[in-house]
């Protein structure tokens, strides 16, 4: 993704070196005057899980990239202006939101497109990327509201055509909105979520327990409104695409505005800082399937780094092979401990939610009338609403 304009650059890094293959949106005007509309102009992208095929949904509609070049994908709705895209794990279905139907409530559902036939079905509400568990059979996504964001999990039904997401009752709840898509670790034992609209928070949860093992703010925490100018400048200095799990289980990497990478050991609760880009801010960070870290810098730099068991190296990567049996067992355990949400009715009435520390059934939330200043704002609001309802009776 380009930091100057709503463009997407495609690179080849298969042999440990970077080679530019093409750009989608190179003719777009820059972000300089976009302001808050920058988010709306940012393209949505998704890679096919098994083929060198990229879909980009931008200002000019949907564009498909393959090794043969760029083209317009066939069979998609003419009215589609998707903000989020994801291929199903088998690659034969495209999940997209918001719905291409009625604009009035388009965010209340999503499109499910059978790529072979071009048929369009209706799927559940989601709005912030979809992450597949490494063992397969389960995905995670987010459904956002200004007051709170739900971290939803869904069983993947590949037997249907198109492939369907069956949303499950167990869910996470995060304060406010504005998060980035969830990220599973390579071994499937952790789930990380960056956000939110009011600060550079970082939350990491164990899987399948959903126990929170790390919650922190990158930089100074949210000071409240009105924002002090120096805090706002600091918050904007942090990239929202700056986390990636390493090859070693329990290790999360975080890029900083000063060009360093922080290596966080989630098991040992330790952090080590590595100098990298000579002071140029890290604007994006991701892990490749070959066990490398790809780092982008504010000056246009791209660095492809090999990872060994416990550090950054300049030579070839020697990644540990995740325990596939343990990963599959974690998914099976999660599925066995919950059930699917019915297709009809209000989604939230069926969920059992947790913030990683406490868990609430729907009856618990509807009876809550007390909350302290240290509780998340969504819980304070819920308690206030319940108190007002009780007084009106």
- Residue 285, helix vs strand vs coil: strand
What pLDDT does 387 receive? 92
Strand order in the sheet with 251-255: 243-245, 251-255, 260-265, 270-275
What pLDDT does 39 receive? 65
Rounded Cα–Cα distance for residues 68 and 128 (Å) = 30
Sign for the CA dihedral angle at 35, 39, 43, 45 comes to: positive
- Residue 213, helix vs strand vs coil: strand
> What DSSP element (H or E) covers 62?
strand 61-66
Written as six digits, the tokens of 350 are: 């069926």
Rounded Cα–Cα distance for residues 364 and 297 (Å) = 46
Q: Which of 139, 21, 120 is nearest to 69 (CA)?
A: 21
Rounded Cα–Cα distance for residues 157 and 167 (Å) = 11
Cross-strand pairs, 215 = 203
Rounded Cα–Cα distance for residues 279 and 277 (Å) = 6
Write out pLDDT tens, residues 218-261. 988 888 889 899 999 999 999 999 999 988 889 999 999 999 99
Q: Who contacts 377 (Cβ-Cβ below 8 Å, separation ≥6)?
A: 147, 175, 176
The one-digit pLDDT tens for each residue of the chain (393 residues) are: 555 667 888 888 776 678 888 888 766 666 555 455 566 678 899 999 999 999 998 877 888 899 888 888 877 777 678 999 999 999 999 999 999 877 778 888 999 999 888 889 999 999 999 999 999 999 999 999 988 999 999 999 888 889 999 999 999 999 999 999 999 999 999 999 998 989 899 999 999 999 999 999 998 888 888 989 999 999 999 999 999 998 888 999 999 999 999 999 999 889 999 988 888 999 999 998 777 899 999 888 888 888 764 455 433 334 456 688 999 999 999 999 999 999 877 899 999 999 999 999 988 898 899 899 889 889 999 999 999 988 876
My answer on whether omega of the bond before 110 falls inside 30° of 0, hence cis, is no
What pLDDT does 221 receive? 84
What pLDDT does 314 receive? 38
- DSSP per-residue letters across 13-26: -TTSS-EEEEEEST
Cross-strand pairs, 297 = 282
How remote is the C-alpha of 239 from its chain's centroid?
Answer: 14
Q: Give CB contacts under 8 A, 24+ apart, made by 317-320.
A: 317/247, 317/290, 317/291, 317/292, 318/291, 319/186, 319/247, 319/291, 320/247, 320/248, 320/249
Q: Which of 101, 5, 105 is nearest to 60 (CA)?
A: 5
Q: Who contacts 203 (Cβ-Cβ below 8 Å, separation ≥6)?
A: 174, 192, 193, 195, 212, 214, 215, 356
Per the CB < 8 A criterion, the answer to whether 157 and 163 are in contact is yes
Q: How many CB atoms lie within 10 A of CB 284?
A: 17
What pLDDT does 31 receive? 59
Rounded Cα–Cα distance for residues 354 and 210 (Å) = 8
Alpha carbon separation from 269 to 186, 189, 253, 264, 324 (Å, rounded): 19, 16, 13, 7, 25
What pLDDT does 316 receive? 36
> What DSSP element (H or E) covers 183?
strand 183-184
Alpha carbon separation from 35 to 6, 38, 381 (Å, rounded): 13, 6, 29
Rounded Cα–Cα distance for residues 172 and 311 (Å) = 32
């Amino acid at each position: 993704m380009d930091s100057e304009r709503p463009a997407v650059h495609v690179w080849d890094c298969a042999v440990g070196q970077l080679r530019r293959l093409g750009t989608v949106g190179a003719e777009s005007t820059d972000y300089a005057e976009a302001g808050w509309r920058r988010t709306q102009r940012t393209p949505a992208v998704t890679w096919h899980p098994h083929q060198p095929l990229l879909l980009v949904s931008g200002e000019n509609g949907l564009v498909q990239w393959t090794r043969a070049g760029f083209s317009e994908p066939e069979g998609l709705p003419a009215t589609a202006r998707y903000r989020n895209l994801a291929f199903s794990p088998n690659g034969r279905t495209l999940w997209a939101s918001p719905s291409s139907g009625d604009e009035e409530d388009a965010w209340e559902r999503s499109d499910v497109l059978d790529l072979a036939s071009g048929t369009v079905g209706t799927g559940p509400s989601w709005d912030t990327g979809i992450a597949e568990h490494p063992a397969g059979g389960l995905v995670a996504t987010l459904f956002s509201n200004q007051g709170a964001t739900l971290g939803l999990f869904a069983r993947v039904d590949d037997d249907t055509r198109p492939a369907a997401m069956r949303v499950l009752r167990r869910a996470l709840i995060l304060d406010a909105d504005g998060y980035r898509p969830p990220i599973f670790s390579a071994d499937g034992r952790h789930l990380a979520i960056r956000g939110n609209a009011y600060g550079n928070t970082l939350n990491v949860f164990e899987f399948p327990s959903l126990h929170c093992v790390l919650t922190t703010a990158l930089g100074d925490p949210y000071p409240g409104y009105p924002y002090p100018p120096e805090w706002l400048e600091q918050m904007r200095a942090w990239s929202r695409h700056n986390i990636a799990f390493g090859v070693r289980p329990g290790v999360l990497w975080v890029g900083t505005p000063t060009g360093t990478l922080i290596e966080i050991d989630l098991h040992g609760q330790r952090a080590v800082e590595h100098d990298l880009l000579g002071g140029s801010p890290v604007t994006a960070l991701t892990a490749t399937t070959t066990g490398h870290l790809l780092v982008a810098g504010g000056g246009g730099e791209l660095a492809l780094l090999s990872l060994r068991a416990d550090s950054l190296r300049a030579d070839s990567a020697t990644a540990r092979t995740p325990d596939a049996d343990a990963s599959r067992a974690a998914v099976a355990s999660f599925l066995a401990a919950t059930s699917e949400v019915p297709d009809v009715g209000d989604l939230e009435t069926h969920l059992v939610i947790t913030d990683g520390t406490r868990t609430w059934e729907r009856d618990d939330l509807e009876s809550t009338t007390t909350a302290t200043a240290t509780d998340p704002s969504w819980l304070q609001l819920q308690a206030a609403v319940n108190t007002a309802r009780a007084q009106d009776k």
